[in-house]
Amino acid sequence: MEAKTTVSTAELRPLVSALKNEMQKKGYSPLSMRGLENVWDALLHYASTVPATAFDENFREGFLQTEYGLRMDLEYTMYRASRALELLKNYIEFGVVTGVPKKQRREFSDAYRPLMTAFSDGEARRGLAEGTMKSLWSRLYRLYLFLTDKGADTFSMVTRDMINDFIKYLAPYSTTYVSENLRMLRRLSLYAFQNGYHAEDLSGCIPAVKNSRQQKLPAVFSEDEVEKILSSFDRENPMGKRNYAIFLLAARMGLRSCDIKALEFSFINWTEKTISFTQKKTKKYLTLPLTDDVGWAVIDYLKNGRPVSDSKYVFIQHVPPYGQYRDLRNVLVKQMRKAGIETPANKRIGMHCFRHSLATTMLENGVPLPVISQTLGHADIASTEVYLRINISQLRLCALEVEL
């Protein structure tokens, strides 16, 4: 489809239909399409009830408030509605489908595979962590989909205009996301030029966006909210016992969700009351004291909740084949609702909030930054310093009197 700068809401119906057809061609499942189609149907109905106007941010915001209102604080509702609007907006502006079907295998075409594989292999030799490499591969694949939708069947066909459109597509995202994608694109473009995949060095037309560290304050729960969430678990239920122990590890010890899910029996020293493991994110070895409440919660789960299984992981699924437990985020949303905790639609909430909350509480209690950094397993104390910005009680001590 030819990209358009702006469209009227009166033009939306054929555009929605065209987007549906493109997504079906790309392999989106009927289930995924059904949720998006519900949003688009509501959008078209809303557009028919108001005078024709530009399909701009104001119109989209009005639609969300009118159609969803208070339901926008529900995470899945917010995600589905926002994603449907973003897909339509990007299809109109850039003529591409900017999503990836969930079950689609991320494989490049024969024309792109040699370049992408050689480039990613080179990045791996720089010593990038496994998680970083997965993120790189994901960004490369999204770039590949964008460029091929724009008509570049090989990287040699990529033009400056296509690069500019990709940059415009990134604009609404966070500075961190934009910075990482543009840095990748610059390195890829230079590599392609130096190795004969493109006749022109396009890296010079890609701006450098400074990723100012910790530009956004981390989301935190208050101490009261943490206790409400922990109290909301049904600890007479096997899954409740498991989830309570998991959330205690996050709230009391500050473990990342990836490390909680990967917790093995061998990591726990019951005699010394410690947990020792190599962190997934930083690869840094960490030993932490096992607090009594966390220890007893884990024991209660192991004795009275965990299914019989020879899995090496402490926390497992409660349905055969009893594999490693992974679904933490959905549990958090459910428990927040059960605890009566509401969050703004634009606030990113996840298990990381417990980690941030622990750090903030420690700081407010006068714990030195190096101790907090060691507890959280930060590779760089600069990662810990961001909590100085949300320690309101300490900031008040720095306030200057103003003469009236």
Residues annotated as catalytic (active site), given as ranges: 256, 281, 352, 355, 378, 387
CA distance 324 to 298: 16
CA distance 137 to 107: 10
The pair of structure tokens assigned to 126 is: 């720089």
Give backbone dihedrals phi and psi of 126, rounded to 5 degrees, phi first.
-80, -5
**Is residue 158 a contact partner of residue 202, using CB atoms and an 8 Å limit?**
yes
CA distance 75 to 397: 37
CA distances to 230, 341, 386, 388, 397 from 400, rounded to whole Å, are: 39, 35, 22, 18, 9
Q: Nearest Cα to 209, choosing from 241, 240, 245, 167? A: 167
The pair of structure tokens assigned to 212 is: 């100012």
Give DSSP secondary structure letters for 29-45.
-HHHHHHHHHHHHHHHH
CA distance 292 to 383: 28
According to DSSP H, which parts of 125-214 are helical? 130-149, 160-170, 175-194
**Is residue 347 a contact partner of residue 219, using CB atoms and an 8 Å limit?**
yes
**Is residue 332 a contact partner of residue 219, using CB atoms and an 8 Å limit?**
no
